[in-house]
């Protein structure tokens, strides 16, 4: 693509925390749309390691996971020639803008964030200030790049709304500085549920591995996890199955993986036993994840290739981020270095 073409495209940005195992929920809710939308946008895809440390991480695991997640972005089909892919901590402007935005975010707003309440409950011994002000860092991630569209799952809607409020507040206090981003939340698959506890969302950091499908699960594990997924006591698929948390979730996953509407899946499987449908779902997962994993293994075997992409991505990101940050510093009244 020429630079002129790039200039006319809007910007799409998203990120994933390198915690736990990249899961099917993340793919269906977010990454899948990154891949589908990338042609029409200048894409920026971040491995948000600074967000991940709001919960304790083992350093060696965090390091490996950052590379592994970036490789999975590529294996999913993000084109590194056309998009910027980088690790958040390689671009210091995220921390710098986050500090400024913290001063434009009210505690009343942060108190309302359900992800904070949820994580504070799960990590009672470590309710740190970073976990609390996390949304200001996320706003910085997005606003640094004058982002137009942010494809995420439903659980990030509240953070996106706060990002928009912060951007509007800053723009109003000074003059237009940040583009106000729009969320992109898919109609289907925005909230994939846990396999064993279908009343809660599938989480990549769940302590019970049977609750999620990792994108790197080998075929026998995929088959076993689907077989064991909790469903109700009915045994046959009916149109009402879609409303049922357990089987409804599996039907949604099948629909998304096969590019079908919910009604098309029902007409394909109406009257089938749950076990038969689960077999078809496991086949779909294996068919999708086997080539994904082959691409992943190849990328991970060429570490130089991967780190080259991440280095280049970080340097492109820093170039854009610096421009926005210096604009912000000027507007709020910071003296430019060398002008004292």
Q: Which residues have a catalytic role annotated?
A: 119, 201, 204
* Minimum CB–partner distance for residue 252 and ligand TYM (Å): 10
Residues 110-169 that bind ligand TYM (CB under 6 A): 138, 141-142, 150, 152-153, 155-156, 159
Q: Which residues pair with 46 in a beta bridge?
A: 15, 86
Our CB check for ligand TYM shows the closer of 141 and 272 to be: 141
Q: Does 206 bind ligand TYM (CB under 6 A)?
A: no
Q: Does 49 bind ligand TYM (CB under 6 A)?
A: no
Q: Which of 141, 202, 187, 135 is nearest to 14 (CA)?
A: 141
Our CB check for ligand TYM shows the closer of 134 and 338 to be: 134
Give the binding-site size for ligand TYM (rule: CB under 6 A): 26
* Minimum CB–partner distance for residue 34 and ligand TYM (Å): 9
* Minimum CB–partner distance for residue 297 and ligand TYM (Å): 23
Among 11, 14, 54, 72, binds ligand TYM (CB under 6 A): 14
Q: Does 26 bind ligand TYM (CB under 6 A)?
A: yes
* Minimum CB–partner distance for residue 236 and ligand TYM (Å): 26
What ranges make up the beta strands (E) of 95-165? 149-151
* Minimum CB–partner distance for residue 295 and ligand TYM (Å): 20
Task: Quote the tokens at residue 164.
Answer: 């928009």
Query: What is the SS3 assignment for 15?
Result: strand
Task: Quote the tokens at residue 231.
Answer: 């469903």
Our CB check for ligand TYM shows the closer of 51 and 90 to be: 51
Q: Does 51 bind ligand TYM (CB under 6 A)?
A: yes
Distances (CA, A) of 66 to 22, 153, 245: 11, 20, 32
Task: Quote the tokens at residue 150.
Answer: 């942010």
Q: Does 252 bind ligand TYM (CB under 6 A)?
A: no
Given a contact cutoff of 8 angstroms between Cβ atoms, the answer to whether 266 and 251 are in contact is: yes
- How far is 232 from 247, CA to CA, in rounded Å? 7
Given a contact cutoff of 8 angstroms between Cβ atoms, the answer to whether 267 and 237 are in contact is: no
Task: Quote the tokens at residue 95.
Answer: 């921390």
What ranges make up the beta strands (E) of the chain? 11-16, 42-47, 84-87, 149-151, 182-184
Our CB check for ligand TYM shows the closer of 148 and 236 to be: 148
Given a contact cutoff of 8 angstroms between Cβ atoms, the answer to whether 13 and 44 are in contact is: yes
Contact set with ligand TYM (CB under 6 A): 13-17, 25-26, 28-30, 48, 51, 138, 141-142, 150, 152-153, 155-156, 159, 190-192, 201-202
């Amino acid at each position: 693509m020429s630079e002129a073409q790039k200039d006319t495209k809007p910007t799409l940005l998203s990120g994933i925390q390198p915690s736990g195992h990249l899961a099917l929920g993340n793919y269906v809710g977010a990454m899948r749309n990154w891949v589908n939308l990338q042609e029409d946008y200048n894409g920026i895809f971040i491995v948000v390691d600074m967000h991940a440390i709001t919960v304790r991480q083992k350093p060696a695991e965090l390091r490996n996971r950052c590379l592994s997640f970036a490789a999975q972005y590529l294996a999913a089909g993000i084109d590194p020639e056309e998009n910027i892919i980088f690790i958040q901590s390689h671009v210091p402007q995220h921390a710098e803008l986050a500090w400024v935005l913290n001063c434009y975010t009210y505690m009343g707003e942060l108190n309302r964030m359900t992800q904070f309440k949820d994580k504070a409950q799960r990590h009672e011994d470590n309710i740190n200030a970073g976990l609390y002000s996390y949304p200001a860092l996320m706003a910085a991630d997005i606003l640094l790049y004058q982002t137009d569209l942010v494809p995420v799952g439903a659980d990030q809607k509240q953070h996106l709304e706060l990002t928009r409020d912060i951007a509007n507040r800053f723009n109003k206090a000074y003059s237009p500085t940040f583009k106000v981003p729009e969320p992109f939340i898919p109609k289907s698959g925005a909230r994939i549920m846990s396999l064993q506890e279908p009343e809660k969302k599938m989480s990549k950091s769940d302590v019970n591995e049977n609750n999620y499908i990792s994108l790197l699960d080998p075929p026998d594990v995929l088959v076993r996890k689907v077989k064991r997924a909790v469903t109700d006591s009915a045994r046959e698929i009916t149109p009402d199955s879609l409303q049922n948390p357990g089987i409804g979730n599996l039907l949604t996953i099948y629909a998304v993986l096969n590019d079908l509407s919910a009604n098309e899946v029902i007409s394909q499987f109406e009257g089938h036993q749950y076990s038969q449908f689960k077999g078809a779902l496991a086949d779909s997962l294996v068919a999708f994840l086997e080539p994904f994993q082959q691409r992943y293994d190849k990328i991970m075997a060429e570490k130089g290739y991967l780190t080259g992409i991440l280095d280049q991505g970080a340097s492109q990101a820093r170039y854009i981020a610096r421009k926005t940050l210096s604009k912000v510093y000027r507007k709020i009244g910071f003296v430019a270095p060398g002008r004292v």
